[in-house]
Amino acid sequence: MESSFYTSQIVVFVIIVIVFMLLMALVVVLLSNRAEKQIFRQRMDNQDLQLKHQQELLERNLLVQEEERQTIAAQLHDDIGSKLGVLHLTFHRLRRMEAMTEQYNTMCEEIDGLIDKTLDASRRISHGLLPPTLEDFGILEALNEFCEGVRYTGVLDIQFEYNITRADIPDPLVELNLFRIIQELTNNSLKYSQATKITIQLMKHEARKALRYRDNGQGFDPENTISKGLGLKNLENRVRMINGISQINTAPGKGFEAFITF
């Protein structure tokens, strides 16, 4: 009887810890969303300022977003992820104890599945905020990994071509902004363009490098201010942050192309 009571206490404790970890992850994500909304409101409140001041503010906001993403990603990986990993190992020790009832075994299986899903969600959130491949191996490996993830969905075909090496883009900030530009453009293609194919080219010619992004989607009217939403505004600001020049070519039914030199 005492063994059964002790085992039940352990199971309840495990459930409480899992719920606590999930709440921590939810709070972190909510704080991130709140910070981004505050940044957006701040940008809108400064519409009457001079263009140069607006540009400096927008660039600072993008840097703040990246710092917040790095902080949240580190917290998810180092804090929540590690604790869930320990919890996972502890739970497997619990499963090796003598099973008391069929209900006990069923509960163990449910908790084990919940831990696996939570660990997977934590990894996906952390990698989405700050891909570790980008920091560890550079933009070429990060983009190959990113394209493989898009390809895996089966929604469209995506190709990545390049003739540069990581040494050609030595500045981590340039790497990060290029990755975010491609990430934003790809998300737009997936959500709005109804494209079936995306081509990404990262090339160099003498002292200049170029990024060309193309999809075969439905395109849009570039003069339509609604079409030039926050995504393209962020693109323009990120291009300026890497001292680049961008050109957008699109029209209804003609697909979309962004050509950036830096």
Q: Are residues 199 and 122 in the same domain?
A: no
Count Cβ atoms within 10 A of the Cβ of residue 165 and give its class: 0-12 exposed, 13-18 middle, 19 or more buried. Answer: exposed
* Residue 210: per-residue pLDDT: 96
Q: Are residues 115 and 183 in the same domain?
A: no
Write down which residue in 78, 104, 130 finishes a domain.
130
CATH number (domain holding residue 168): 3.30.565.10
**Number of domains into which the chain is organized:** 2
Q: Are residues 173 and 186 in the same domain?
A: yes
| CA nearest neighbour of 206 among 258, 247, 261 | 261
What CA–CA distance (Å, rounded) separates 255 from 252?
Answer: 7
Paired strand residues for 158: 198
For the whole model, what pTM was predicted?
0.57
Residue type, 237: N
Write down which residue in 83, 100, 130 finishes a domain.
130
Mean pLDDT by 10 residues, the chain (262 residues): 62 71 70 68 64 62 64 60 66 64 70 71 61 85 91 90 93 90 90 92 91 94 63 81 92 94 94
Q: Are residues 60 and 126 in the same domain?
A: yes
Q: Are residues 123 and 148 in the same domain?
A: no
Q: Are residues 254 and 166 in the same domain?
A: yes
* Residue 235: per-residue pLDDT: 85
β-strands 256-261, 245-250 pairing:
antiparallel
What residues make up the domain containing 156? 133-261
* Residue 134: per-residue pLDDT: 85
What CA–CA distance (Å, rounded) separates 77 from 64?
Answer: 20
Write down which residue in 75, 99, 130 finishes a domain.
130
